[in-house]
Amino acid sequence: MPTLAANLSLLFTETGFLDRFDAAAKAGFRHVEYQFPYEFDKDAVAARARAAGVAVVLHNLPSGNPAKGDRGIACLPGRVDEFREGVGRAIDYAVAAGCPRLNCLAGVVPDGAPPERFHRTFVDNLRHAARELGKAGLALMIEPINTRTVPGFFLSGSAQAAAILDEVGADNAFIQYDLFHMQVMEGDLAMTMARLLPRIGHIQIADVPARNEPGTGEINFGFLLAEIDRLGYEGAVGCEYNPAKDTLSGLAWAAPYLKA
């Protein structure tokens, strides 16, 4: 059965962030991920993960200021220095927590802007990030995001992500394949995962349309999680969804996987 990782930015929000490691462990998780740990001391985050006995599998690079509309800055030509400073900071957090992979959010392109400069900036920044992460033994993820949830997001499809990785040419750079985003943008999830499996470094799940837990929407997770196993995917599956009610009542779907 797939190994599930609790996303501590969206699950167990009934308690403070640092207490969520223990809450996830008590619920049966042995792996966790989170989005942005940077408001907390890196050693405190690492200590809480170790104390709870959970492995950290993923977090994001710094992505600018969400309150000002940022959804990543990696493709933005005027923010290269900020992006590269964030790479170093993210590596420090990942190394402290023993986290093996970092996700890079591309960012939003202004309406009507020609894409060429944004593409070039993104590729150049990814080459830099992959090189720096490689020195630390870490893997870099890039995540296609659906443009219904985040209008104007630069990276929005799996084929686009694969082509960009070809251009970057780094053997430690992969796709973060989020079934929620890709169901909205493309569908055909099983066939796409089968085709791209060697390029996929991490998988995340949430149901469509409301980004709640599996079983609340249109995706057949019973089939897809079995298919992920059949394909031979060996990584964790990140539970990056908003519980429809509270976290624990929303975990009924996960009980067989957590017991396994």
What residues act catalytically? 143, 240
Residue 114 to residue 123: CA distance in whole angstroms: 16
Residues 6+ apart with CB under 8 A from 204: 7, 176, 177, 178, 179, 180, 237, 238, 239, 240
82-113 burial, b at 16+ Cβ within 10 Å, e below that, comes to ebeebbeebbebbebbebbbbbbbbbbbeeee
The letter for the amino acid at 196 is L
3-state secondary structure of 1: coil
Residue 255 to residue 22: CA distance in whole angstroms: 18
Q: Which helix (H) or strand (E) holds 92?
A: helix 80-97
What is the separation, in whole angstroms, between the first and last Cα of the chain?
Answer: 7
Question: How long, in residues, is the chain?
Answer: 260
Structural contact between residues 96 and 45, judged by C-beta atoms closer than 8 angstroms: yes
Closest to 98 in 3D by CA, of 57, 132, 40, 41: 57
Q: Could you please report the per-residue DSSP string of 23-46? A: HHHHTT-SEEE-S--TTS-HHHHH
